[in-house]
Structure 1
């Protein structure tokens, strides 16, 4: 039971809510297309409400539902599709519908799906969808789902899209959220607090773990664009791995206040003068940038920050790792005079940081 469109960047977004079915209004016009596509939808929805089931809901400012996601774990053979899915632990996307309204909501739902898949250590993720829902299909294919089977029902023939989590293609997007270290370089990239806050709210920069269902909008964005003035960042290539490091907020010694917060994979690095015009630059950077239109236009005019880093945001560290621990336990340099604005990391150092940050061990491969 699925319907979606690709979402573009735009308005500021509120958090997703993990809601009981019984707390949702089945008469909301949002559900009309699902009722039309699936004759059994109303009965199914009421059954889930009685069972106490929950799903992710996104509401517009007027209180109307604008997006909904329901996930379930299935064990064994999935025999109602042809060819059947082999015996395994599956995450089924039971319902996914997203209205178009100029946001990255589709991307955030995809991120939440993968969060659950990794947390539950499933073998694959699958979803059934009618071919007419091209937006949903293209969105899923972008992140590694492939056409695997067909499902015949009284509502018609649905396509079965599958993401096998044990197979890697070597592509940054198709393999998301997994990170391969084979033949990859790793780096630490420092970001000032005032910019980092736009990536991750400072309120979660602490040493508390966060529940899988908790939604933090900044961590649920898959893509990021950062503009750097560090010439050495230009050597990064697609597939290289980044540790994001928030510099000290000056509220105490950097030894305790500077922290590694997250891990990503480079999509590309471009020089700012590679864009034909200011308009082309803003169009590229704006959707996933932490900078305002005014800042972007200023950067283009002055060329003071020349390197545009686009990367995939694979994992937030659930335990922030301080500068002191990075030196003492991860083996980063302790000598005075070594700048931490952009550092080469070994694969071992990257793994150490991920372990200290309590990143799920299944995410990093090789």
Structure 2
């Protein structure tokens, strides 16, 4: 898949076609770009080096006076420039996730972006994840909307509060996934022993939303429940050292096969967010009367992947239990989060 990485402006080709529309919309864009020579920006490149995305992020701490109404002094992350060529791959969601990763890491109170109202799809993307219109910004290029997302005033909503995870009053589970499916579904949780070449540029790779499909009943999972993804071993007999927890997710919904009115409805629902091809999905539907889907948000990759042996010895998970879908106690969940070294502010009451 195209890599998402930081590069200095001077290392980025200003003549790349991705910047053509920005040059037309912002008369000063080329000069602004050159002045940022030594500053970093996120770029998404294909294997040939062509740009599929460009995102410039900037930390601001003072009062924002070039918007109306002005914004009081606070530590904010400004999305200075955002341009994505998604080609139906939902690459925008991947970049939104990176913006939030950056915001969490910098511990900002707000994230904001200005965007012309002609970019309706981009506005909808930001609004889906909690951005709200807070004013306008007028320059010689025209008037833009100011969209702002608070990182402190949460709404107890899975999407509006993303990537925060509400832990109070919900169940926590360990959910197993085979290695051959794991990294394509959770690309930020790739193991150091895996090659990045196995991650392909397709919808389910880029999405914040994931659909997990299984023959076991998933209906005990409810909206808001927390799922810790457990990647099973890739070498038989080595599970104690090769099986690891990798990711933190939140349940959006579960569905049984019978809830889909047709095979086509099942495929339409699952295809953009699951690891299976359309042909594989149709086969699953045709061959299994008992089939369940779990749709969840992909909130964080663990900084440290705790192995099965530690989960047994230190967390207290039973070696005799089946770990395909294992309910966790509050203490077990808290210990896994602690060992996983994710940002301590990401899980909230």
TM-score, length of structure 1 as denominator length: 0.87
**Which structure 2 residues correspond to residues 6-155 of structure 1 after superposition, within 5 A?**
13-49=1-37, 52-60=38-46, 63-155=49-141
Aligned to 1:302: 287
Q: Are residues 1:350 and 2:336 paired?
A: no
How far residue 199 of structure 1 moved from its aligned partner, in angstroms, is 2.7
RMSD: 2.3
Alignment coverage as a number of residue pairs: 343
- Secondary structure in 1 matching 2:344: coil
Q: Would the alpha carbon gap of residues 120 and 262 (structure 1) be closer, same or farther in structure 2, given more than 3 Å must change? A: same
Instruction: For 2:132 and 2:189, locate their aligned partners in 1 and report how far apart those are by CA, in whole Å.
Output: 38
Instruction: Map 1:266-345; keep pairs closer than 5 Å.
Output: 266-303=251-288, 306-334=291-319, 336=320, 338-345=321-328
Aligned residue for 1:42, secondary structure, equals helix
Range with greater deviation from structure 2 (147-156 or 215-224): 215-224
CA contact 1:267–1:310 (8 Å) conserved in 2: yes
Residues 216 and 61 from structure 1, CA distance in 2 versus in 1: closer, same or farther, beyond 3 angstroms? closer
CA distance in 2, matches of 1:359, 1:29: 37
Shift of 1:237: 1.3
Q: Which has the higher contact order (CA 8 A, sep 6+)?
A: 1
With over 3 angstroms needed to count, the CA separation of the structure-2 counterparts of 1:292 and 1:305, relative to structure 1, is farther
C-alpha contact 1:299 1:305 (8 A) present in aligned 2 = no
Separation (CA, whole Å) in 2 of partners of 1:124 and 1:22: 28
Judge conservation of contact 1:227–1:305 (CA < 8 Å) in 2.
Answer: no
Cα offsets for 1:119-143 (capped at 9, x unmatched): 1111110001111111111000001
In the TM superposition, what is the alpha-carbon distance from 1:147 to its structure 2 partner?
0.6
Unpaired runs of 5+ residues, structure 1, are: 1-12, 208-214
1:219·1:316 contact (CA, 8 Å) conserved in 2?
A: no
Rounded to whole Å, the distance in 2 between the matches of 1:222 and 1:89 is 25
Q: What is the TM-score with the length of structure 2 in the denominator? A: 0.91
Q: CA deviation at 1:20?
A: 2.1
CA gap of 1:133–1:249, structure 2 versus 1, over 3 A, is: same
**Contact 1:20–1:53 (CA under 8 A) maintained in structure 2:** yes
Alignment check: 8 A CA contact 1:15 1:216 kept? no
In structure 2, the CA distance between the partners of 1:339 and 1:239, relative to structure 1 (3 Å rule), is: same
Partner of 1:227: 213
Q: 1:250 aligns with which of 232, 235, 242?
A: 235
